[in-house]
Amino acid sequence: ETGVTQSPTHLIKTRGQQVTLRCSSQSGHNTVSWYQQALGQGPQFIFQYYREEENGRGNFPPRFSGLQFPNYSSELNVNALELDDSALYLCASSLAAGGGGYTFGSGTRLTVV
């Protein structure tokens, strides 16, 4: 049983650029959530995808968007990057019906300069 994998592990972008982060969910999991973790803070919920549709969103602007694919993998897209977007982005997969909890990946460290 494979866990959650995220790519890339590190990324440096310039302010104003766009970025795409990728996540492969754990085998058997059909729901993917994305979290932003700023330095020294706890993870903040960005949004969740289930059956390829957004199914819950935290307090993040529309320039944060995502996709979920038929194989349950997911992408997080951030447009018009700002310096404050520098953070660790964590992906978590789960079963919508519960029972197994959440499994997190190791994250993508995004630095915006």
Partner 1 sequence: AQKVTQAQTEISVVEKEDVTLDCVYETRDTTYYLFWYKQPPSGELVFLIRRNSFDEQNEISGRYSWNFQKSTSSFNFTITASQVVDSAVYFCALSEALAGTALIFGKGTTLSVSS
Residues that bind partner 1 (CB under 8 A): 31, 33, 35, 40-45, 48, 50, 55-56, 58, 88, 90, 92, 94-107, 109
Nearer to partner 1, 66 or 107 (CB): 107
Closest separation in Å from C-beta 93 to partner 1: 9
CA distance 110 to 103: 21
Nearer to partner 1, 69 or 102 (CB): 102
Closest separation in Å from C-beta 111 to partner 1: 14
Closest separation in Å from C-beta 67 to partner 1: 18
Closest separation in Å from C-beta 17 to partner 1: 23
| Cα-based distances in Å from 26 to 1, 6, 48, 95 | 7, 11, 15, 10
